[in-house]
Amino acid sequence: MNRTWVVIPMYNEATVVGSVIQSLRTVFPQVVCVDDGSSDGSQDIARTAGAVVVQHPINLGQGAALQTGIEFALQDPGMRNVVTFDADGQHRIVDAAAMVARLDAGEADIVLGSRFLDDRTQIGPMKRLVLKTAAVQSRMATGLDLTDAHNGLRAMNREVASKLHLTQNRMAHASELVHQIAEMKLRWVEHPVEIIYTDYSKSKGQSLLNSVNILAELFFR
């Protein structure tokens, strides 16, 4: 058995998550959605689409959901790789498949998606600035030469999955993950991915102001 589990943090994504899971499962049959108390019926839609749904009894946040999903996947003795993938349809399955291929080729133990390695991603100038600043900040704090620090698409092998321990429940988990990669001296590589900004994802995604919260959560650990 040689399985890849796709971990999807999910919170009120009923309109899109069904189709995201369906198309994912043509390539990755094992999908786990970590739900955080969605009130729009996302859970049933995800289950119908063939995903395992793990439900937090209360809302804990995206970082907590990723950690829960990873721990779920670790319970499967046949799990070889874990992919983290967003529920809002912003990631591309071909990118995820290419990242897993790089893991299987032994190129790295964790592959991080970056939207700034090619020019496929159409992104607003303000958002670009914020993300670039975040990348520079984590580069200075950790010494890792990253181009994109807040990308939800990642692939890691079993060993890395068992070593990571995300304690930042909300959005600061992304920087925390980079810190842990640096601390444990994991073999990492960035992979160019496209982030699709639809009207739906823009209306739901993170407000730029939230980057203030991310910084505060990091500094006042």
Partner 1 sequence: MLLIVQIVLVLAVILVSFVLMRGGANARHLAIRRIMLMIFAVAAVASIFFPHVLTSLASFLGVGRGTDLVLYATIVSFFVFMATTYQRFRHAENALTALSRRIALDEAPKPWADDRR
**What is the binding site for partner 1 (CB under 8 A)?**
1, 3, 30, 32, 34, 52-58, 60, 64, 67-68, 71-72, 75-78, 167, 169, 220-221
Give the one entry of ligand GTP, Mg ion, partner 1, none that residue 2 binds, where binding means its C-beta sits below a cut-off of 5 to 8 angstroms depending on kind: none
Distance in Å, CB of 74 to Mg ion, minimum:
25
Distance in Å, CB of 185 to ligand GTP, minimum:
26
Distance in Å, CB of 16 to Mg ion, minimum:
10
Contact footprint for ligand GTP (CB under 6 A): 9-11, 13, 34, 36, 59, 61-62, 65, 86-88, 90, 150, 152, 201, 204-206
Distance in Å, CB of 151 to ligand GTP, minimum:
8
Nearest-angstrom CA–CA distance, 216 and 194: 28
Q: Where does 113-169 have alpha helices with state H?
A: 125-142, 158-163
Which residue do the tokens 């994802």 mark? 201
Contact 158, 81 (CB under 8 A): yes
Q: At 191, is the secondary structure helix, strand, or coil?
A: strand
Residue nearest to Mg ion (CB): 205
Work out the number of other CB atoms within 10 angstroms of the CB of residue 124: 11
Residue 88 in contact with Mg ion, rule: CB under 5 A: yes
Tell me the pairing of strands 79-84 and 52-55. Answer: unpaired
Nearest-angstrom CA–CA distance, 123 and 196: 9
Nearest-angstrom CA–CA distance, 84 and 131: 19
Residue nearest to ligand GTP (CB): 205
Closest by CA position to 88, among listed 121, 51, 42: 42
Contact 211, 134 (CB under 8 A): yes
Distance in Å, CB of 72 to partner 1, minimum:
6
Task: State CA 86 to chain mean position distance.
Answer: 6
Judged by CB, which is closer to partner 1: 179, or 204?
179
Which one among 127, 132, 139, 205 touches Mg ion, defined by CB under 5 A?
Answer: 205
Give the one entry of partner 1, Mg ion, ligand GTP, none that residue 219 binds, where binding means its C-beta sits below a cut-off of 5 to 8 angstroms depending on kind: none
Applying CB under 5 A, the residues found at the interface with Mg ion are 88, 90, 201, 205
